[in-house]
Amino acid sequence: MLVPEDDAAEARKRAHAKGLYPAPLNAGRSRNMQANRRRDTKPEVVLRNALHALGYRYRKDLLLRLEDVKVRPDIVFTKRRVAVFVDGCFWHVCPQHGRQPTTNEWYWTPKLRRNMERDARVNDTLRDAGWSVVRIWEHEALNDAIASVRAALD
């Protein structure tokens, strides 16, 4: 990495303020929550709202029962059989931000590993059943996330 992560985040924020960089799905989440408690700024909600505004209709919180796996994707297009997950960088171990925890490693590392294994099993089971699976990191730009969903729907 060319610059420390904090500096990179600051640089992105400044670039975004100038309109140079697309806003990440979780931009300023905690600050936004303080400034405007009524609006849910969770990354999956940001994406859902954007898709809805573009005219897409989907199910949320729909439980899919597949063989030995029960899973609740963040966004489901039932007719097209597309399941969308917006994954948190820490819990799902994003290659950019999901660094291994250094404190309480005996607890966290197996837990994170289990999360990764479950994600892989869910992907395989859904795909075997004929679903398209879209995994989006919470750090991704909204426009990129929308493009990924659209690509799966086409």
Q: Which among 154, 101, 105 has a CA at the least distance from the CA of 132? A: 154
Q: Is 75 exposed, middle or buried (0-12, 13-18, 19+ CB in 10 A)?
A: buried
Rounded to a whole number of angstroms, the minimum distance from the CB of residue 95 to Zn ion is 8
Rounded to a whole number of angstroms, the minimum distance from the CB of residue 97 to Zn ion is 4
Rounded to a whole number of angstroms, the minimum distance from the CB of residue 26 to Zn ion is 9
Q: Which residues are at the interface with Zn ion (CB under 5 A)? A: 89, 94, 96-97, 137, 139
Q: Which is nearer to Zn ion, 92 or 131 (CB)?
A: 92
Q: Which is nearer to Zn ion, 51 or 140 (CB)?
A: 140
Residue labelled with tokens 């309109």: 19
d(CA 67, CA 7): 46
Q: Which among 69, 87, 75, 86 has a CA at the least distance from the CA of 127? A: 69
Rounded to a whole number of angstroms, the minimum distance from the CB of residue 39 to Zn ion is 22
Q: Which is nearer to Zn ion, 27 or 89 (CB)?
A: 89
Measured in degrees and rounded to the nearest 5, phi and psi for residue 95 equal -65, -20
Q: Which is nearer to Zn ion, 97 or 135 (CB)?
A: 97
